[in-house]
Amino acid sequence: MKKILLVGNPNVGKSAIFSRLTGAKVIASNYAGTTVEYTHGYMYKEGEKMEVIDVPGMYSLEPTSKAEAVAVDMLEEFSKEDDILLVNIVDSTNLERNLHLTLQLIKKKIPMLILLNFWDETSHKGITIDCTKTEEIFGIPVIPTCALSGRGINDFVNRIPDGKVSSLDFEEDEKWDVIGKIVEKVQKLQHHHHTFKQMMSELTIRPLSGLIFAVIVLFISFVVIRFIGESLIGYVFEPIFTKLWQPLILDLSGLLGGSGFLHDILIGQLIEGEIVFEESLGLLTTGLFVPLAMVLPYIAAFYLVLNILEDTGYLPRLGVLVDTFLHKLGIHGLSIIPLLLGLGCNVPGALSTRILETRREKFIVSTLMAIAVPCMAQIAMIVGLLGNYGTKALAAVFGTLFVVLVIVGFIMNKLVSGESPEIFTEIPPYRFPYFKGVFKKLWIRVHWFIKEAIPFVLIGVLFINILYTLGIIQFIGRITAPVITGILGLPQSAVGALIVGFLRKDVAVGMLAPLGLSVKQIIIASVVLAMYFPCIATFAVLVKELGVKDMLKSAAIMIISTLIVGGILNLTL
Amino acid sequence: MARTIVDLKRNETATVKKIEGGYGLKRKLNNMGLRVGSRVTKVTSQFVRGPITVRTGGTQMAIGYGMAKKIIIEDK
């Protein structure tokens, strides 16, 4: 099968082109032996099936960062195969820098095509590019495209068979001269006025206006996530469960005789003869309700907003703005990206620490995330549990976690040896996201959540039921009482939630509901559950990314800080 | 003391004279199109020795303060 490799600098609209080309079925795979993800899918041209691979962005074939190194490696690996076509996607508003990679790709002597993407933007910026002349110089097809409007995509698909090895020849050390000459021949610049986007670009990266804008962006994101999450729950998922699913389960409960071992496992405890989806703790009740009706809506809302922020090009600006502050915690500004991803789910957050260069940075970011960044699943459950007690109770939980993030980071910056490099990042121009691409990415992430989370939730619910039945929870409750009750001020019954927290934090928070805890105890339990240890899925990734030794150190920090923070909360609240 | 891009004022443009960093830094900057002879315009800088944002060609980039100190520009 023909393989089409989409290659280009970061932020040149590669993923949008990819979304245009491929059908609904897009696969996110891990590149062999790494935790770096790439997406691929299939397209059809006159009945021929071709695989399209979205190779992660790179500025050069001589990598200068870990992320780039993997991308280059991937390209090398795929280029070994027979029937391949390189599609070099070029930002036509930034020809000079983009051609640097183009010239390196040419040296690989593989059939190639060039797409001049963001073509529609060139006229706003006073740029004219002569495509025919560019084709003559390179000796390969050069097609103007705009992924947002779909312009040029058909031309490109039609000219796939024309892809060939470029005839351009040059000496390695003359590269920039060659580029200079090409640009001079094919591109004309006219003076143009500052556009609104350029003005915004500057305002949002200046220290003062930038911070104000960041606060507004984060606030709006928060409101939108909450609105979408609550609407999906209130109008879609809860009605489905209460109106459609509940009667079926009640019938089943009757069939099973209303009690007994199987009934407990599948349906759980009836509360005053009724099913309470949040509390019954059966596989078919709580086991499905928590992940689908309480967590999934927030996950979807969160990733939708994050994808839009990612695709507009805002995140690097945020990274630059928080750089000075994050340096106090021993990490640089771009570490905000793994931390934000961790807010969705700690697993992709932990995976993305791969973009960080040194062991020290990775250790600090991973530990901070595991301790102080609760995932959206957990946040949704905490909001569900504490929301009725007002904003103050919620602020106590999330405020505490933020303070912990700052203090633990500050201490680690002083104690962890090694180096943290400085920030270095492109600040891409603002762009309107391509919505089909945004939703495709959303689907990949939601699909991943359903596949990964639901089995864990079910196992967690099953596991806890069995432990209760065997009396093991009660036993652990008694022996851990000095810590749980003595230091943290929680009842022995809370130990069940702490055990389940190893498997799934959302289920664990949910298990606090029927315990009749005071507000203070719910606050402490929520903070402790967030901090004490990562869930098993995150733990597995962290062991792989950090190694066993560093993971043990990280775990020690988590447990010690949990006891200190939990103890302080117990004494002061 | 040699003038570096840190000393540029907002919207001031200058030509890069020398990059004092090692091979790694030079290559990183080169990939973004910033090399000796490039015309660089400062966009903004963050408080307390925060990163410097500059523009060269069509590319905008943020450079940590320490690295930025190594990019020497021609005198006025």
Interface of A with B in 29-48 (CB under 8 A): none
Q: Which of B43, B50, B57 sits opposite A94 (nearest CB)?
A: B57
CATH number for region A2-191:
3.40.50.300
In a mutational test of the B interface, the residue from A205, A213, A337 whose CB has the highest number of chain B CBs within 10 Å is: A205
Asked if B47's CB is within 8 angstroms of A323's CB, the reply is no
pLDDT of A29 > 80? The answer is: no
Over chain B (76 residues), the average pLDDT of each successive run of 10 is 89 92 89 91 90 92 93 86
Show the tokens assigned to A465.
């039921």
pLDDT of A67 > 90? The answer is: no
Q: Which of A422, A423, A427 sits opposite B60 (nearest CB)?
A: A427
Query: Domains in chain B, ordered, with CATH?
Result: 5-73 (2.30.30.90)
Which helix (H) or strand (E) segment holds residue A88: the answer is strand A84-91
**Chain B neighbors of A100, CB-CB under 8 A:** 31, 33
For residue A174, the 8-state DSSP code is G
pLDDT, residue A198, reads 83
Q: Which long-range contacts (CB under 8 A, 24 or more apart) does A219-227 make?
A: A221/A305, A221/A309, A224/A301, A224/A305, A225/A298, A225/A301, A225/A302, A225/A305, A226/A301, A227/A301
Asked if A421's CB is within 8 angstroms of B64's CB, the reply is yes
Is A226 an 8 Å CB contact of chain B? no
Q: State which residue of chain B sits closest to A426, comparing Cα positions.
A: B61
Asked if B44's CB is within 8 angstroms of A207's CB, the reply is yes
Q: State which residue of chain B sits closest to A100, comparing Cα positions.
A: B31
| Spacing of C-alpha A454 from chain mean position | 18
Q: Which residue has the tokens 């910056």?
A: A413
Which helix (H) or strand (E) segment holds residue A361: the answer is helix A359-372
Is A59 an 8 Å CB contact of chain B? yes
Q: How far apart are CA A238 and CA A288, in angstroms?
A: 12
Residue-wise pLDDT tens digits, A106-121: 998 999 999 999 999 8
Residue B62 · residue B52 · CB < 8 Å? yes
Q: How far apart are CA A250 and CA A259, in angstroms?
A: 12
Interface of A with B in 251-270 (CB under 8 A): none
Asked if A176's CB is within 8 angstroms of B62's CB, the reply is no
Q: Which of A59, A423, A425 sits opposite B31 (nearest CB)?
A: A59
In a mutational test of the A interface, the residue from B60, B63, B69, B71 whose CB has the highest number of chain A CBs within 10 Å is: B60
Nearest alpha-carbon partner for A299 in A246, A245, A341, A236: A341
pLDDT of A25 > 80? The answer is: no
Residue A14 · residue A6 · CB < 8 Å? yes
Phi–psi pair at A417, nearest 5 degrees: -80, 170
**Chain A neighbors of B64, CB-CB under 8 A:** 323, 332, 421-424
Residue A115 · residue A17 · CB < 8 Å? yes
How far off is chain B from A153, nearest CA to CA, in Å? 25
**Chain B neighbors of A429, CB-CB under 8 A:** 60
pLDDT, residue A33, reads 55
Q: Which of A91, A100, A320 sits opposite B62 (nearest CB)?
A: A320
Give the residue extent of every domain in chain A.
2-191, 207-572
How far off is chain A from B58, nearest CA to CA, in Å? 5
How far off is chain B from A179, nearest CA to CA, in Å? 11
Residue-wise pLDDT tens digits, A344-373: 888 888 888 877 888 999 999 999 999 999
* Average pLDDT value for residue range A370-377: 93
Residue A80's identity, in one-letter code, is K
Q: Using pLDDT thresholds of 50, 70 and 90, give the confidence band for residue A218.
A: very high
Residue A81 · residue A88 · CB < 8 Å? no
Cβ–Cβ contacts within 10 Å for residue A207, how many? Answer: 15
Q: How far apart are CA A451 and CA A441, in angstroms?
A: 15
Residue-wise pLDDT tens digits, A439-476: 888 988 888 888 878 888 888 888 888 888 888 888 88
Asked if B58's CB is within 8 angstroms of A91's CB, the reply is yes
pTM of the model: 0.88
* Average pLDDT value for residue range A58-86: 88
Residue-wise pLDDT tens digits, A395-425: 999 999 999 999 999 999 999 988 888 999 9
Residue A253 · residue A282 · CB < 8 Å? no
**Chain B neighbors of A316, CB-CB under 8 A:** 62
Phi–psi pair at B44, nearest 5 degrees: -170, 170
Phi–psi pair at A357, nearest 5 degrees: -85, -40
Q: State which residue of chain A sits closest to B49, comparing Cα positions.
A: A324
Q: How would DSSP label each residue in B4-68? A: BGGGPPTT-EEEEEEE-S-HHHHHHHHHTT--TT-EEEEEEE-TTT-PEEEEETTEEEEE-HHHH
Per the prediction, chain A carries an average pLDDT of 89
pLDDT, residue A353, reads 85
pLDDT of A34 > 80? The answer is: no
pLDDT, residue A66, reads 80
Asked if A324's CB is within 8 angstroms of B47's CB, the reply is yes
Q: Which of B27, B59, B67 sits opposite A97 (nearest CB)?
A: B59
**Chain A neighbors of B60, CB-CB under 8 A:** 201, 426-429
Asked if A424's CB is within 8 angstroms of B64's CB, the reply is yes
- Angle formed at CA A461 by CA A368 and CA A535, multiple of 5 degrees: 15
Q: State which residue of chain B sits closest to A428, comparing Cα positions.
A: B60
Q: How would DSSP label each residue in A242-255? A: IIIIHHHHHHHHHH
In a mutational test of the A interface, the residue from B40, B45, B47, B53 whose CB has the highest number of chain A CBs within 10 Å is: B53
**Chain A neighbors of B35, CB-CB under 8 A:** 176
Residue-wise pLDDT tens digits, A138-183: 999 999 999 888 899 999 999 999 988 988 888 888 888 899 999 9
